[in-house]
Amino acid sequence: MASFEASGSDATDVPRTVLVVEDNELNMKLFSAMLSSQGYTVIEATDGNLGLALAQQRHPNLIIMDIQLPGMTGIEITQTLKADAATQTIPIIATTAYALKGDQERIMASGCDGYMAKPIAISEFLALVASFMTRPAASKSAPHPSVA
């Protein structure tokens, strides 16, 4: 397994909780290992219904969202969370194998704040996560880079 060196900030005021909604066991292990290695607290959900419930209950600082999930799709979860005043400011990064023309635009239009096609590049993924975690809540509406 790959080694991930810590490069994130050690500041105690930096938000550190990430909800990963991913039904593929290997992908979940990879996301959890990468995020944990950077000091993030990881909450795991393996289907859409659990992902929605955990987001509503735990209010993570960031959500990593697979698009094709059992129960509810990542797009349905994103739309539900963005329509709820209690969760609408939680940034959501879509991670998906959908990489056809128009897929990124469709996914971003559903309310996702970032996009990364699978297979992901580790350094780019961690940089994208860090970019969301270090921004004040008031500026989350500013566009973020996406990696296709």
Three-state secondary-structure class, residue 115? strand
Q: Quick one: which of 125, 99, 114 has its CA closest to 7? A: 125
Tens of pLDDT along 132-141?
Answer: 988 665 344 4
State pLDDT tens for residues 32-59. Answer: 999 999 999 999 999 999 999 999 999 9
CATH 3.30.1860.10 describes domain 17-135: no
Residues 6+ apart with CB under 8 A from 18: 35, 40, 41, 42, 43, 60, 61, 62, 63, 64, 129
Give phi and psi for 31, each to the nearest 5: -60, -45
**Strand 62-66 relative to strand 17-21, pairing:** parallel
